[in-house]
Amino acid sequence: MDSTLLKIATLQQAIKEGPRLPNIVNLPLPGCQLPVDVSDDDFNNNNSSLNIAPCDSKHRLVNRMSLHLDDLEFGKEITVTHTEVVPVSTEAYWSGFDDYFRLQSYLGMHDNMTTIKGEGGVGTVIEFDFLGGKTQEELLEKNDMTKSWTIVMLGSNPLFTKYRATVKVDDDTSETAKVTMSITGIVAIEDYNKRRTQIAFTKYMLRNRINEILCLIADKKGEVLHFEVDVDCSLQKLWDAVNDWAGYAWVMHATGVEVVPDQPNYDLRRKVFFGPRFLEERLVLGTENPNTLEYEFGRNDNMGVLHYRGKVEVEKITAKKTKAKYTSTFLPQPGVDAKANIKALMETRLKWVKSTFAEKSSTCEIL
């Protein structure tokens, strides 16, 4: 899989490839091949006895996304929109847009970002590396009264000849906000299938972007924890467990998993059972090379969080030793010390992973 394609899919890493358009036929969650032969019937019927790799699953869901035929015409200006209710107040969510530079940097894909003009307010223009060239974006609107935010691309790049992103934050309840994110643009890709996939992927990523603002707010408040552990096993052994959305071998105390494709929203979720209780998780991203898995869930009273995103990274140290990194990003419930709860839980869980996946060295006794 083209490394440039991987970096587009993860939307987290800088792109340093040459000035060629990446192959995006399988864009939704690339970074790995489709490693298992899962039939559509098995997938639709939630056959959890199968190994379901996250990139394979997202590939199927996004490729089924309904798009207006008119929007697939080359050169047509299109708009994709998603609305999500988030578990924080309107003011709290809007605070994620206070610092334009930090926001753009946190969301990724802005490698070597520099300021062309402005100090972060309306009219500010930034420039960053993108697909072997430079892309410029201008902050067109930041209205604190209407809570509307808009950026526009200046010029074009290999993916879009025109691009405009808008966020509107509205009141829902005193504790929740309704966030609408829209992308309006003209896709620069001439190939029909590649263009369709790019449009579908752009539409899918809107929800991820909305929730990433929650993670930015958590990051600004210091509600992030990093863990790592060295495990005496091969990378493949540990990664095979983590990379199975229908499996739970790496989840301490889990007793089962039910995969739940949310077809109307083109989402992939799963219920992880702990006896009679379960936790429903949403797949955010999954890639190979680097081997990463990101998932999230909403309010959880046991952990004391309003929103939680976990990221697992599995790296090879030697043939028989693997490093597992885990990042917790969370928004605590009011009055709850979620950080202490999560720290204790993850330290225990990683010790369990180290013990559970350790491969004993073979020894020979000389009699």
Averaged pLDDT, 196-219: 91
Q: What is the pLDDT of residue 316?
A: 97
Domain residue spans of the chain? 224-357
- The tally of CA atoms less than 13 A away on the side-chain side of residue 190 is 1
Distances (CA, A) of 47 to 14, 34, 44, 91, 256: 37, 17, 8, 42, 12
Q: Which amino acid is at 295?
A: Y
Give the pLDDT band (50/70/90) at residue 205.
confident
Q: What is the pLDDT of residue 173?
A: 94
Whole-structure pTM value:
0.81
For the chain, percent of residues with pLDDT exceeding 70: 79
Residues in contact with 344: Cβ distance below 8 Å, sequence separation at least 6, in sequence order: none
pLDDT exceeds 80 at position 305: yes
pLDDT tens-digit series, residues 225-237: 999 999 999 999 9
Lowest mean pLDDT among 20-34, 163-177, 243-257: 20-34
Q: What is the pLDDT of residue 1?
A: 39
Q: What is the pLDDT of residue 110?
A: 82
Fold of 224-357: Alpha-D-Glucose-1,6-Bisphosphate; Chain A, domain 4 (3.30.530)
Averaged pLDDT, 233-254: 95
pLDDT tens-digit series, residues 321-359: 999 999 999 999 999 999 999 999 999 999 999 999 999
CB 217 within 8 A of CB 88: yes
Give the number of other CB atoms < 10 A from CB of residue 305.
Answer: 26
> 209 versus 265: which is more confidently predicted?
209
List the one residue out of 259, 323, 263, 321 whose CA is nearest residue 295.
Answer: 259
Structure tokens at 59: 């590939």
